[in-house]
Copies of this chain bind each other. A is one copy, B any other.
Amino acid sequence: MKERIYKIIEKAEDEDVVSKIFDYAIIILIIASIASVILESFSGFRTKYDYELYLFELMTVAIFTVEYFLRIWTADLKYPQKKALAARLIYLFSFMAIIDLFAILPFYLPFIISIDLRFLRVVRLTRIFRLFKVNRYSDSLQLIGKVMKEAKEELLTTIFLMFFVILISATLMYNAENSVQPDVFPNIIASLWWAIATLTTVGYGDVYPVTAIGKMLASVIAISGVGLVALPTGIISSEFMREISKQKVCKCPHCGGDIG
């Protein structure tokens, strides 16, 4: 019976109808749960359906809690070569188990420690992370994750460079514009907002330079922004290429030897 439960809560195999129904039910529940968070943000809806929203919350958390403990219980079937306790501990600290915990924790937390209600509202948002469960079934997310992991060092260096350029440009812009627009660029921290909006080419238009020097600076930074977009793209492209070429093994059809 334990094996049956394990097979149901895991990704369904082709012929396993019950497991498939379970998979789709979980996906629907996740989407409904997210919809309830969105609907709750409408003040009219919140006032009118406060009780229904609470009931739905109760039901979702109950189901996800049962599912969470079933997954821990069947963890020894997931890692058969490990001992029962070791398998459960490995599972507990796996990425997916932490996501599962985050989905139910915001409900139980106020019972354990007293939390400010306003802050609680923000914590409950972690429920949206349940969406990642849908992706448990996706292969290409793993490929993307692998590529990001391989390129991690280069990407972090790019973010560091970005941060560096943002800091330099914000400081320069503060010096160029502070005397003319003291309300818009009162200090370097406020200039950072402008620098980020420009370097990422978002450009809301709420903050922009008006002096000649400020505009020259902004031009240099906007053009640098194009380069800083090109850098992570180039890194990710080449990493994707490497990942794909790894999978391809070139063998000579005649002599059978590896090539490349």
A113 close to chain B: CB less than 8 A: no
Say how far A213's CB is from chain B's closest CB, in angstroms: 10
A80 close to chain B: CB less than 8 A: no
A258 close to chain B: CB less than 8 A: yes
Q: Which of B162, B192, B205, B242 contacts A206 (CB 8 A)?
A: B205
Q: 24 interchain pairs (CB within 8 A)? A: A41-B178, A43-B187, A121-B175, A125-B175, A128-B167, A131-B164, A132-B164, A139-B153, A141-B157, A159-B223, A196-B223, A197-B222, A200-B222, A200-B225, A229-B229, A229-B233, A233-B234, A234-B240, A252-B254, A252-B255, A252-B257, A253-B255, A253-B259, A259-B259
**Interface of chain A residues 163 through 218 with chain B (CB within 8 A):** 164, 167-168, 171-172, 174-175, 178, 186-189, 191-193, 196-198, 200-206, 208, 215, 218
Residue of B nearest to A227 (CB): B232
Please report the total number of A residues contacting B with Cβ < 8 Å.
91
Say how far A132's CB is from chain B's closest CB, in angstroms: 8
> Is there an interface contact between B189 and A38, defined as CB atoms closer than 8 Å?
yes
A239 close to chain B: CB less than 8 A: yes
* Set of chain B residues within 8 Å of A115, measured between Cβ atoms: none
Q: A234 and B231 in contact (CB under 8 A), knowing A125-B172, A187-B41?
A: no
Residue of B nearest to A198 (CB): B202
> Is there an interface contact between A251 and B244, defined as CB atoms closer than 8 Å?
no
Question: Among the interface residues A132, A157, A204, A219, which one has the most CB atoms of the partner chain B within 10 A?
Answer: A204
A55 close to chain B: CB less than 8 A: no
> Is there an interface contact between B225 and A202, defined as CB atoms closer than 8 Å?
yes
A230 close to chain B: CB less than 8 A: yes
> Is there an interface contact between A260 and B260, defined as CB atoms closer than 8 Å?
yes
